Every structure is written in C-alpha cells, then in structure tokens.
Amino acid sequence: MRLFFVCCFFAILTTGSSEEAPGSSAEQPHGLVGDRQLSEEEAQAERTFLKTGMSAEAAEGAVGQSPGLEEDKPTPKEGEPAETTLFLTKGFLAKTDEGSAGQSHVGQSPVSAGGLQLSEGEAPAEGVLLEASTVSKLRLVPNQAGDAELYEAWEQWHSAYMDRDLQVEKKALDVLVRLRRETGARAFEAFAVGLIRAAASRDIQNDKERTELLTQAAMQLAPDLPAVYIGATGICLQRFSEEWRHCAGLFWQVVKSWMDDPRYRRSTLTDIGVAALFGFVVTAVAAMLVFFLRSLPCLFADFYLFFQRTAFPKWFVWMLLLGILCLPLILRVGLAMILLIFFLAIALYLRRKERLFLTVVIVAMSVVPLAGEWFARRTTFGGTVAEKLWMLDLGGPGTEALAHSWKEALRTSRGSFAELAALGTFELRRGDNEAAIGHLRRALSLRAEEPRAMNNLGVALFLKGELEQAQLLFEQAAHLDKSLGEPLYNLIQLLDWPSHQGAVLSAQELNRISELRARVSEKAPRLLELRPTTAAGAISANTFLQTVSLDSRDILNAAKLEADMELIRMQLTRMLVLDSPSLVTPWMALLMAVIILLLSFLGDSLDTSERCALCGQIHRKKMLSMDRSACLDCTRVFLQKSSGVEPLVGFKKRLDTARFRKKHKRFVYSLSLLWPGAGLLYVGKFISGVLYSFIFGFAASALIYRRGFMRVPYSEIPFSFYVVPLTLIFGFIYFLSIASLFRAKDAHRGSSRDT
C-alpha cells in the first residue's frame, strides 16, 4: 500500500512538472482511469466535460448561456498565457490550462490522496489533496437554476406527495434543500409554508414519519420564517404531553424569528400601537361617561334652576340639555371635541385630579394624529420599496420577475444604493455574473466604503478570474466591518488555492490562513462548518463562496410611503379632533382644554349643586357640611348622634340612606361588571380605575384584531394561541377590579367632592 502511494506521488510530480512531448498522452486518442483504458469516445466526452462542465450533448446548445462558461477560444499564440479554468481541490481552487484536456498541474504536494475516489454529491475532505484524475471531476460553476427549475422540483415533490411515495418524496425534498443552497437563496418561503401545511395534514392522519420529514424540510427551506415555526408549534401542541420540551424550543424559535424579521416585527409594533391607541381611547371615553353619569343629577339641577322662573316642565329641560350635549355629534366633530364639550359641562362637579386627568386625555388625544404619523413612519413595511428589497434578498421562487422589472427600471434611472446592491447580489447568486458586477460597481460608486457590497463584488470577480482585485475587496470589506465573517472566509478560499497549482505555501502564508480561520471561528463559526455541494462533477459557486445580504438598516430606510403617512395623519385628525386636516387643529383642542381647566378652578367658589354622600339627595353647597360630603340633615342624624332630631325624622333619614346605599352598591358593581375599572372611577379610586380600564381595553383590542391590524406574510396565528392568555387576562382584571371595589371604603357610599 505504501508503495502504491509512493508511485502515485511520483506520477503526479512527473505529470505536473514535465512538458508535453511528441507522443505524450495529449496526442494519444485514449485516456486512462485507474487501470482501465478509455475509448476514443469516452476520452473526447471527458475533455468536453472538463471544458464546459457538462456532457457533450448538453454542451452543444449551452455555449454562451451560462455566465461561468465561455465559448471555445482559439489556441493561444506562442508566448501568450493560456486561458484558465477553475477547479476545486480540498474545498479550494486550482488552475489548469484549458488546452491540456483536463490534466491538472497539481505539482508537488506534502500529502497525496492516492486512489481516492469521490461519489457524486460528495465534497473532498478538508486537508486532503486529490490526484489529477480526481481533481478534474470537480469544477466550480455558477448557479444554473432559475425559477423554472425551482417550480419543476416543487412539482416533483407534490406529485410524490399525492402518490404517497415516501422514497420519491424524500429525494424530491433533498433536491429542494440542495437547490436552496446552490441558488444562494436565504429562504424558499412559499415552498416552506406549503410543506408545513402538508405536515399538519399528515399529522391529522397520524402519519408521524411524514409529518417529521416535512417539518424538518420546511425548517431547512426557510430557517428564519416565523410562519414555519408557528406551524411546527401547532403540530407539536397536539402531542404536548409527550414533547413539551420540544414545544418550548419551537415557541422560542417563533419569538426569535418573529423579532428578527422586519415584516413580522414591524407588523407587531403596529398592532401594539393600535391596541394602545384603542385602550387609551376607550379608557378616556369610559372615564368621561362615568364622570358624566355621576355628575348628571347635579348638572340637571343647576340647569333646571336656570329655567326655574320659566314655565318649562322638567322633561323639556331634560330634552334641551341632551340636545346641547348631542350638538357635537350632530356637527360631526372629532372625539376629542365631544369629550371637550362634556368636560365643559361637568368640570365644576369633578375632583381636581379628575379634571387634570381629563385635560391630559383631551390634550393627548389632540396630538394623537401627529404621534400616529410619526409611529407609522417607523413601523410601516408592507407595500414599500423595503419589502421588495427584502424579497429580492431572500431570492426565493418567483423573484426573477421582480428582479427583471427592477433591472428595466434601473436602465433609465440612477437608482439608490440599496436597489443596486440588492439587484447585483441577486444576479450574482442566480449566476448572471457580468450583470452582477455592473450593478455592484454602480452601487459602490454611490457608497464607496460599503463592506457588504465589496464582499459580493469580490465574489463576482473571483468567479471571473480577477483574483487580485477580489483579494483586495475581501481585505477592505473585512477591515471596514470587523463583525462580518464572510469576507475573511472568502479570503481564506482565495489565499489557499495556489497550493494546488504546484506552489508550496510559505510558512508566513500558512500562518496567515491559520490566523484568518481563527478570526472566522470567533465571528461566524458556522462558516467553517459549511461544505460545498457537488453534482455531476461540478461544484456550486454559491456553496463555495459566501455572499452577504443587504444591511437591514438600508432596507428599513427604504420603508417610506409619504403619501400614506400624510393620509394617516389626516384620517386621525378627522376622527379624533375636527373634520379638518389642518396642522393647527390639534393645538386648538389643547388650548380649549387648558382654558376649561382654569375656569373650573376659578368656579370652585360658585354655589353649585352637590350630592350628599350619605343619602344621595341634591343640595346647594351652602346646605352641606364643612367638608361638603354630607347634607345638614345627615350631619345632625349621623354625625351629631341625632341630637335635637325628632325620632320619626331620624328613622326616615336612616331608611332613605340605607335604600340609597343599596341602590348605589348595585349600580357601582354593575359598572365594574360592564367595564373593569368603571366602578372604581365612580367611587373615586382614580388610579386603579384608569389602570384596569386601560389593560382591559388593550386586551379587548387584541381579541378584536386577533388576525393583526397589519397582516404578516404566510401566517395567521391560530385562535387557540389567544384563548389561554386572553382568558387569563380578562379573568385577572375582572377579579382585581371587583376585589379593589370591595375593599374601597366608600364603595357603599355616595361619592364626595374634594376641595
């Protein structure tokens, strides 16, 4: 065995270092593979494959179609360097003269692989050098697959799925996973969602093997898509008692991928903002209604006193009061203006902190349109240029049409850096190397020191054979962004391949490669675990060299819809303030609320009506006790121990008070059951009432908009995900509201007014 390896070693040295002489193997009509002599047809087919990367029959119509393959070139003149073709050895590249018919000039090597043979789809192990006949089988080629090939592979899986052919289905899934790597796509989202839905269908049929197979394939096709993990979690929940740990891990992946994907993250922020706005509005309306119901008897008493000298009956006065209060609704003013009118009507009957609260609410509601426009600018994503950039960067099936339309648009316009860089990266991954170089260079002309575009341009130049420029770009990209591992990884690939040309790397070069590997292992250790994929003797360039996606900040900066932002502000202004989109409108409501607050403080000295906290009767202020919490009759009966009060009068007062307390108690608890926190607001528990009301409104909006105010792609969170948390929230809020009301000292009394 040792003798065999020594013979192979000297054979490689002789082949790599000696010049061709008349009568050598280049002139022979036949070749040798191992101990078998090739026929003339086999030798010609091998030379054709080494030159074009495909069979002789396929090469006839494919010349010029692939960006990585060129037409036959004439034999170089004497003294001119021969054109080169790139080949792979031990995961890196080596050059051979195109005119040598596949003879690899490996040269001297410290280690030889001897008779090592690689099966189809198998990459050589790292650290192993291949002999000439083995090296010639692996050829670096750009991606050849497009959308048509992707859909064809999908149809093959779908046919196997419908036929329930498990073996064919496994092979088809392997093809899809391999195509994702070879096309350089970040995700095949549509295919992955189809697979996870098929897995859910198989799970219903209790086909656990196919369910697991489809679930794993879906995760490989779209490793960062939340919809896939949501579907997998739903499947896992069916067997929660057996796989609860796995379910917990999947749920964490849902949260992580959700926050990493701007489409989902921004949609979630939009939903949270809408829910907060809904909770704020319903809390303001609930508080105003509660305060209005509590102050209405006093308001009517004072309003009727104003018309007391007239002959108007009470029902007419009631109708007149309601007509005045409904006037904002008739005029179709905004919600803030309606609250402003009600605030003006009851301001004199409120506590000071309640006045301040309503003032803040009205002021906040008046500036909600401006805040909504600001918030929308930072959460919008769907329908913008950013969404197209994101889809182009994913590179999944169906993206070719988007790239083509974008390419046509950029012929007549300058384009932004993000548009040019995203298009160039997509073209590079899909194999259109020349177009990718053009667009990436245009992108770098707009932003010269962008490391991601530099790295991708370096990959394109690497494939073109301009290795010095590629090395310079990799080094600059690694220097500009020290967090990126891809430029260092590509630099390792570039620096190491000369050793397979016959050159022996110096100790300094080996040390540098070792240092680069250490840096890559710190920044992106996953890169060192990647293995190139091979098929039919060719290796995919997208699995050998690594491109970098566009920076998320560049994508998010393109998420702008100026017309829609203006429309959002106008709609909120009409709904909340006035039917006028003017920028001055919000400040009008703010000014009016402050004026009403100041007037209410000045009106504390007026002799308005008040409700007795004990018996519930309406009296003028001068008829109340010093603390204005009880009328004079209740003060004599209850606080002065009935001194000087007739027994019959005292008995009647106690009976009236007991009836009022019972009626008041029922009313307060009814408010709490109708809306948590409303009863607490009625009895004066201001902070807890506002808090419970807002939380309940926030949770109610989550139930109303359970499908999301902004839809996310491919995903709809199952309603079962909402049942448990919303049930717990509603039950907890109701319990706290009733318990707080029960503990309130004056829950069974009428409310008093602080002065």
Q: What is the pLDDT of residues 113-142, one digit of tens each?
A: 333 333 344 444 443 333 333 334 456 778
Whether the Cβ atoms of residue 288 and residue 344 lie closer than 8 Å to each other: no
Q: Given 260, 276, 305, which residue is the final one in a domain?
A: 260
The answer as to whether 748 is a domain residue is no
- The residues, any chain, with a CB within 8 Å of residue 223's CB and separated by 6 or more, are 187
> At 333, which amino acid appears?
V
Please say whether the beta carbons of 591 and 598 come within 8 A. Answer: no
Q: Is the Cβ–Cβ distance between 96 and 84 less than 8 Å?
A: yes
Which residues, in sequence order, are bridge partners of residue 84? Answer: 97
Using the 3D structure, point to which of 533, 557, 581 is the last residue of a domain: 557
Confirm whether 56 is domain-assigned. Answer: yes
**Beta strands 36-37 and 32-33, pairing class:** antiparallel
Burial label for 89, CB within 10 Å (0-12, 13-18, 19+), is: buried
**Shared domain check, 401 and 548:** yes
Same domain assignment for residues 97 and 218: no
CA–CA separation, 369 vs 375, rounded Å?
A: 10
Task: Tell me what pLDDT residue 84 has.
Answer: 34
pTM strictly above 0.95: no
Residues 106 and 164 in one domain: no
In a domain, residue 468? The reply is yes
Residues 174, 128, single domain; the answer is: no
In this structure, the answer to whether residues 426 and 548 fall within a common structural domain is yes
Pairing of strands 139-141, 538-540: parallel
- Mark whether 87 and 202 lie in a shared domain: no
Closest listed residue to residue 55, CA positions, set 63, 65, 45, 64:
45
Whole-number Å distance between alpha carbons of 488 and 490: 5
Query: At which residue do the structure tokens 């600018």 appear?
Result: 377
HSE-up (13 A, CA, CB side) for residue 359: 19
Q: What pLDDT, on the 0 to 100 scale, is given for residue 644?
A: 61
For 723, what's the count of Cα atoms within 13 Å in the CB-facing half-sphere? 3
CB 129 within 8 Å of CB 109: yes
- Residues 153, 216 share a domain: yes
- pLDDT reported for residue 47: 41
Q: Based on the domain organization, do 157 and 38 belong to the same domain?
A: no
DSSP assignment, residue 549?
A: P
**Helix (H) and strand (E) counts in the chain:** 33, 9
- Look up residue 496 and give its two tokens: 């190491």
Which pLDDT value is given to residue 331?
72
Q: Which amino acid is at 751?
A: S
Q: What is the DSSP string of 188-256?
A: -HHHHHHHHHHHHHHHHTT-HHHHHHHHHHHHHH-TT-HHHHHHHHHHHHTTTTTSHHHHHHHHHHHHH
pLDDT digits (tens, 9 = 90+) for 575-594: 777 665 555 566 777 788 88
Say if residues 250 and 377 touch (Cβ distance below 8 Å): no
Within-domain flag for 492: yes
Do 413 and 467 fall into the same domain? yes
In-domain check, residue 581: no
How far apart are the C-alpha atoms of 233 and 314, rounded to whole Å?
Answer: 64
Domain that holds residue 6: 2-69+82-141
- The predicted pLDDT at position 92 comes to 34
Count of domains observed in the chain: 3
Q: How many residues does the chain have?
A: 755
For residue 235, give Cα distances in angstroms to 172, 173, 214, 218, 579.
23, 20, 12, 13, 50
Q: Are residues 155 and 109 in the same domain?
A: no
Q: What's the per-residue H, E or C state across 682-713?
A: HHCCHHHHHHHHHHHHHHHHHHHCCCCCCCCC
What's the CATH number where 235 sits? Answer: 1.25.40
pLDDT at 715: 67
Host H or E run for residue 53:
none
Same domain for 88 and 157, yes or no, is: no
Q: Is residue 718 part of a domain?
A: no
Q: Which residues of the chain have pLDDT under 70?
A: 1-139, 240-241, 308-311, 497, 499-503, 534-537, 578-586, 623-629, 639-645, 715-721, 745-755
Packing angle of the helix pair 262-306, 385-394 (nearest 10 deg) = 150
Neighbours of 608 (CB within 10 A): 17
Q: Contact at 8 Å (CB) between 288 and 358?
A: yes
Cα separation, 60 vs 714, in Å, equals 43
Q: Last residue of a domain, which of 535, 557, 579?
A: 557
Token pair for 597: 């607050």
Residue 536 is part of a domain; what is its CATH number? 1.25.40.10
Q: Is residue 450 part of a domain?
A: yes
243 domain-assigned: yes
Assess whether 193 and 93 both reside in one domain. Answer: no
